[in-house]
Structure 1
């Protein structure tokens, strides 16, 4: 693993200039070749007055473009703000208005451009070769490296700020836990504007692993690659893994990290029995990706857990500021050198606390394995009784004919709130709501059984496997 005392790409060039860093569209690029292009982009950025402390938003669908731009922004001393290229015009406009970047660099359709925000097409930066000397900006590992945008309460995005130190510490923890070979190979299988995908790039760069990048990173494209190639490491969300299993894919990587959303034990068991080496991971944007890991093949008996804390990570289960013993359920807190340093606001950075309050509910067992039971705000109060929507969801997905479900609260005159559920029934079954409720009686107390069921053809999810509540709401209104 390279050190954290110089720009990471520069260190990789100095140590392994002729090693293949990136595979893209059938061509292999060495670190030296990558740096030549990155330095040219950085020279172009300098002519646009992008300097230390500037905020550069990147809207890039092409993964090689994204990788090059991120490194050019970093050696310029600026901060990267990845933008989701799947946003609508209104969403993009509102986002850019809120974050106020110093520049927007785009290779995708630049919807929602704000005339008050300078913007430039990536192709211009690649082709422009200003006759100007360039020296990389001073490297400071405590400097802000990236602001990852993630949805907060009310759906408004919040910017999670990470430094080079927090990213480096996350990769170091990964390296200590998994001890990967320098010859390892990754596929960029998750969106790079999410922390899961962004950290694939960072691990590959810091560990000098080869990474395969795609011009058009759709899951259909990823599936086509996985039919032809295998990798050492692959990150998937549960919906992706389920699709691969349903389409009879053989194991496609030596190690498959599974995270981003809760994974049902049945899915993980099914993959493991077919020879997939699944590692369940738990983490968030705020923790710079994974902070616990469970190598399922080593502990099948712990398949419902999220594993143990990774090196350097301290995890506590607390309630009312008191640490809870094993077996008692409370809120999960994370203290780690990879924790975010603050939340971005255009005028200032709001500092984070030493222990990050995740909002997740869970417990440790007597062997130190963490079990995540759901979200703090997933509690439904019905008739004065607290019910975990996660518990109801778990029961629903145990029914052999349910392929997907979502549990939520609706206003009710009698109960205050009633438990409702949207369900997707497998194609080979013809199931009525009364059967579902009857079958749940052996799994749940009567007051936990959904009062109302909505039958849908699918539960809309984003590319990370998380439910798209806006689309789901529209579907429910149509039922």
Structure 2
């Protein structure tokens, strides 16, 4: 069905679908471009059921390429170029692609070469193909090698439908896409829902996030809705332009992690609308909604499940999700079953439900620390650390301890110019946290080690602490 989305939207109203810089593309123009790229892919030997690995510099061409692959019935496998050649080769070995389109390393044909072949339009038929794999998106791999999540067409379409209906999106909405198109958020939080409903999508010309440019673009394009991860929203709220440019027409959404209350307050203090979302590659990723009005008084809550989404908590508090937007499983991992016996996706995340039925994220299940018989959620301690005026970044994890079972350990990065000790941090934390939640050890480092895709792996931090105490990144100033 997605192969004909652009054509159907153009038939209803041929408005602007995508804008990049000063260039605007209507739905019919985007349809024509995707048809031509589909023609080129067909000439290059791509067939129904194939996979195409992509490292495409132009977001516009990446979007057109996705719709071209839908016309053929092949799957898009977008790769983060920052992970380098080795990761690209890992993915290629895993999915055995019919084609690699690579604008970075020369490991396959370039997008320019594809466009040179796109001299005619591909002829396609309308197909009911909701079970067909449309994307394979590689997830973090913090507990082993990265895994390719098989996102079928029905998942993308239903996520878009659920989002449009639950969040009240219309053809009058406009968004700026800041997340890259190798990430589920880049595709499925707002890009696909807005194309479905006939809205307008602004794409960046580069993959480098710039808070000043983002503010200026949100204002100039009169964007009505914007999703960013916590670091993006933090950077936007700290930009000098934040107090100079009127963004009251924008509904802000935080995704990809809990937003610190202090950051949320900067938006709320300006009377801007904002709410916290929650999702994962394997489910949607849109799952909850809380109105900006209610969010003001429940900053740690993600609200209630969206339409057609079922949620429950397991006996140990893990969030379980069922719905038509949930993925099919992991590529080439037949032994790995992420579902319960009654068909719910196991998210690996611990949640709580309050007396109003609102859900709140607590921690990754594998990252919860059990110390002296008490549960400590690493996210809560990290948030407290980051609220201290001299802490720039923090990560909290548990390590084995003979007395406590597990001990809470934190690695932190000091802000430039601050001279604080471990005892200083503990003393300040005791003012806002129960004593058992205060880390037994606080280690100052120049930077917090992250995985190859830029995430913090608590497992790796734990192993490094036990192995060498972060000696290569210690901050001894």
Match of 1:219 in 2: 209
Where does the alignment leave 5 or more consecutive residues of structure 2 unmatched? none
Partner of 2:66: 70
Matched, 1:203 2:200: no
- Separation (CA, whole Å) in 1 of partners of 2:414 and 2:407: 22
Q: Closer, same or farther in 2 for the Cα pair 1:284/1:8, shift >3 Å?
A: same
Q: 1:10 aligns with which of 2, 7, 12?
A: 7
**Aligned pair in 2 of structure 1 residues 471, 414: CA closer, same or farther (>3 Å)?**
closer
Task: Name the counterpart of 1:305.
Answer: 301
Aligned to 1:333: 320
Cα distance per residue 1:2-26 (max 9 Å; x no partner): xx5862122223323x321111231
Following the alignment from structure 1 to structure 2, what is the Cα–Cα distance between the partners of residues 452 and 247?
34
TM-score scaled by structure 2? 0.87
Counterparts of 1:477 and 1:413, CA distance in 2: 27
Name the counterpart of 1:327. Answer: none
Q: Go from structure 1 to structure 2 and tell me whether the alpha carbon gap of 1:182 and 1:104 turns closer, same or farther (over 3 Å shift).
A: same
Q: Contact conserved, 1:257 with 1:280, CA < 8 A, in 2?
A: yes
Q: Report what 1:235 is aligned to.
A: 227
1:6-54, CA deviations, whole angstroms, 9 ceiling, x for partnerless residues?
Answer: 62122223323x3211112311111222222211111111122212111
Q: How does 1:204-353 map to 2 (within 5 A)?
A: 204-220=194-210, 223-228=212-217, 229=220, 230-248=222-240, 249=242, 250=245, 252=247, 254-319=250-315, 330-345=317-332, 352=339
More strand by share: 1
What is residue 116 of structure 1 aligned with on the other side?
none
**CA shift in 2, pair 1:308/1:464, >3 Å:** farther
Shift of 1:67: 0.9
User: Does 2:9 match 1:20?
Assistant: no
Deviation at 1:416, TM superposition (A): 6.1
Q: Does 1:35 align with 2:1?
A: no
How many Å apart are 1:91 and its aligned residue? Answer: 2.1
Alignment of 1:117-136 (within 5 A): 119-129=108-118, 134-136=123-125
| Counterpart in the other structure of 1:325 | none
1:352-375 deviation digits (Å, cap 9, x = unpaired): 552111111111111111011111
Match of 1:361 in 2: 350
Contact 1:5/1:139 (8 A) holds in 2? no
- Return the alpha-carbon distance in structure 2 between the equivalents of residues 181 and 32 of structure 1: 19
Is 255-264 or 174-183 further displaced after alignment?
Answer: 174-183
Structure 1 distance, partners of 2:170, 2:451, is 32
Shift of 1:426: 3.7
Name structure 1 gaps, 5 residues minimum.
114-118, 321-329
Equivalent pair of 1:393/1:406 in contact (CA under 8 Å): yes
- The structure 1 residue matched to 2:173, chosen from 181, 184, 200, is 184
Q: TM-score, normalised by structure 1?
A: 0.86
CA RMSD of aligned residues (A): 2.9
Pairs aligned (count): 458
Distance 2:286 2:471 in 1: 34
Residues 421 and 450 of structure 1 are in contact (CA less than 8 Å); yes or no, is this contact kept in structure 2? Answer: yes
Does residue 72 of structure 2 align to residue 83 of structure 1? Answer: no
Residues 289 and 183 (structure 1 numbering): CA distance in 2 closer, same or farther, change over 3 Å?
same
Whole-angstrom distance in 2 between the partners of 1:232 and 1:469:
36
Aligned CA distance change for structure 1 residues 61 and 226 (closer, same or farther; 3 Å)? same
CA contact (8 A) 1:141 1:163 kept: yes
Shift of 1:92: 2.0
Aligned match of 1:421: 410
Greater alpha carbon shift after TM alignment, 209-218 vs 469-478: 469-478
Change (3 A) 1:416 1:91: farther
Output the CA distance in 2 between the equivalents of 1:464 and 1:195.
14
Deviation at 1:289, TM superposition (A): 1.1
